[in-house]
Amino acid sequence: MQGKQGKDDVQRGLQPVVELRSEGASYLYSVRAPRSKGVIPPSSYSHTGFASVADCLRDIAGALGGNFNRIYVRLEGHCVGERDIAELRTAPDIVAAELQALCRAVIAEQHEQQQEKTEAATPRG
């Protein structure tokens, strides 16, 4: 017997993905639905020209805060987790620093994995 879907389950299913990227000396973000059955939906909204990631987060909080409680976040093409809209509103500078640190860690881990693959594929002799 299946139970009723809770509000949190419905909210998670509708949770948008926010893509943050640098564009020269500024930043931009776009919003899309989550991946569904392997397909990445196109962005439904984008905004450019922000001076920092924190400025993007402030705008995101204003734009999405009335409709969503949480967002999935990707920074420079890397998944850096989920965040509460409330945090974006109250502490955008702290959230931005945390997201950027997570992104650097993901990049470093990918680089390390690539080096290990290269070393494993290199014949020793």
Q: How many residues does the chain have?
A: 125
DSSP 3: P
The pLDDT tens digits for 5-56 are: 445 544 455 799 999 999 999 999 999 999 888 888 899 889 999 999 999 9
What percent of the residues of the chain are helix, what percent strand, and what percent coil, each to the nearest 5? 45, 30, 25
Which range of residues forms the domain containing residue 107? 7-121
At residue 14, the pLDDT reads: 76
At residue 36, the pLDDT reads: 85
* 92 in a structural domain: yes
- Within the chain, where are the H helices? 7-14, 53-64, 85-90, 92-121
Question: And the tokens for 10?
Answer: 């419905």
* 1 in a structural domain: no
At residue 3, the pLDDT reads: 46
Torsion-angle region of 38 (φ positive above 0: left; ψ -120 to 50: alpha; else: beta)? left
* 2 in a structural domain: no
Top-confidence residue, 94 or 41: 94
pTM confidence score: 0.81
At residue 103, the pLDDT reads: 97
> Is the separation of the CB atoms in 17 and 31 below 8 Å?
yes
Number of domains comprising the chain:
1
